[in-house]
Amino acid sequence: MADTKHYNELGLVNTRDMFRNAMAGGYAIPAYNFNNMEQLQGIMIGCAESKSPVILQVSGSARKYANPTFLPYMAMGAVQMAKAMGADIPVALHLDHGDTFELAKSCIDSGFSSVMLDGSHHPFEENATLTRQVVDYAHEREVTVEGELGVLAGVEDEVSHEVSHYTKPEEVEAFVEQTGVDSLAISIGTSHGAYKFKVKPGEEEPTLRFDILEEIDQSVPGFPIVLHGASAVVPEYIKMINAFGGKMDDAVGIPEEQLRKAAGSAVCKINIDSDGRLAMTAIIRKVFAENPAEFDPRKYLGPAREELIKMVKYKNEHVLGSANRA
């Protein structure tokens, strides 16, 4: 039988107070995805230096990659590293896009402080029933749960949908009441992955459906809302990747000013995955192109980590507004 532990033992917190403070302060909590040590260090150093609360999140496949037993101790080490830097910031460990009760339970039992049950691909009632099952198990252990209504297009790890389906505001209140979730991911025009939107020369960038967000906020006033697929797909990183042998044409993300507007509304958690991947990939490609004989991982992962730190601090300070909120 697998060893079970509570997130308190790892120095983690759930998201309840994070979201309450974010909504009161008009900012959003950054939720950064990671897969390996350098990504985790980059995220934590960036948040520690900008004094921002943070949600560390992994998909089911990222958890498998890092190893389910090893991963919670990575999070514990990250918390202790931040404290050694003099930053006692709130840190949650979150399952991103969990799709079964069994996966959510396994994460909770191993020390996760927050989980998502993404049943958005199911009919409403099936989604609500499955989500409620996870909520009942999680809340007995003071673990917070994120649900989802609406479907985002794009590809990210095991999540793949060709077409977006906007969240229906009229379903939100019933879903929240039936499931007891602590937060809700919605679809208002964001998209997973780096290739979020194809914008031809002369066309305007995509816009988020703030009208839907406002309707949702009116139906469940003060309830924590989450945006997935919210990377900006930083043009500088795309240019660098393409300049050093990559091929990422037509990669367009969510304009940062729209994310900042969302962060000042009912949205209190914004997920960022692709931008972190792009930052590290751009620097690694640059190092290899300029130093083709290099084979010491520290010489390319180190600079990549530094770029991620810089990106995280920028996001916290200028996009999410979470800097100096810990």
What average pLDDT does range 53-78 have in this prediction? 97
Instruction: Please choose, from the candidates 246, 236, 239, 233, the residue with its C-alpha nearest in 3D space to the C-alpha of residue 289.
Output: 246
For residue 2, the model assigns a pLDDT of 60
Active-site annotation holds for 96:
yes
Q: Out of 90-99, 155-164, 198-207, 247-256, which region has the weakest mean confidence (pLDDT)?
A: 155-164
Q: Is the pLDDT of residue 156 over 50?
A: no
Domain architecture of the chain: domains with CATH: 14-320 (3.20.20.70)
Catalytic residue among 17, 88, 96, 99: 96
- Averaged pLDDT of the chain: 91
Q: Is the pLDDT of residue 129 over 70?
A: yes
Q: Is the pLDDT of residue 83 over 80?
A: yes
Q: What residue has token string 């083709």?
A: 292
Question: What proportion of the chain, given as a percentage, has pLDDT over 70?
Answer: 90
Structure tokens at 202: 């002369």
What average pLDDT does range 240-247 have in this prediction? 95
For residue 203, the model assigns a pLDDT of 56
H-state helical runs in the chain: 16-25, 37-49, 60-66, 70-84, 101-110, 124-139, 169-179, 210-219, 235-243, 256-263, 274-290, 297-314
Residue 200 Cα distances to 192, 205, 249, 257, 260, angstroms = 19, 9, 11, 21, 25
Question: For residue 163, how far is the Cα from the chain centroid?
Answer: 21
Neighbours of 265 (CB within 10 A): 16
**Tens digits of per-residue pLDDT, 167-223?**
999 999 999 999 999 999 998 876 644 444 455 555 566 678 899 999 999 999 999
Q: Is the pLDDT of residue 49 over 60?
A: yes
Backbone angles phi, psi at 183, to 5 degrees: -155, 165
What average pLDDT does range 271-282 have in this prediction? 95
pLDDT band of residue 228 (cuts 50, 70, 90) is confident
For residue 3, the model assigns a pLDDT of 78
For residue 322, the model assigns a pLDDT of 98
For residue 205, the model assigns a pLDDT of 62
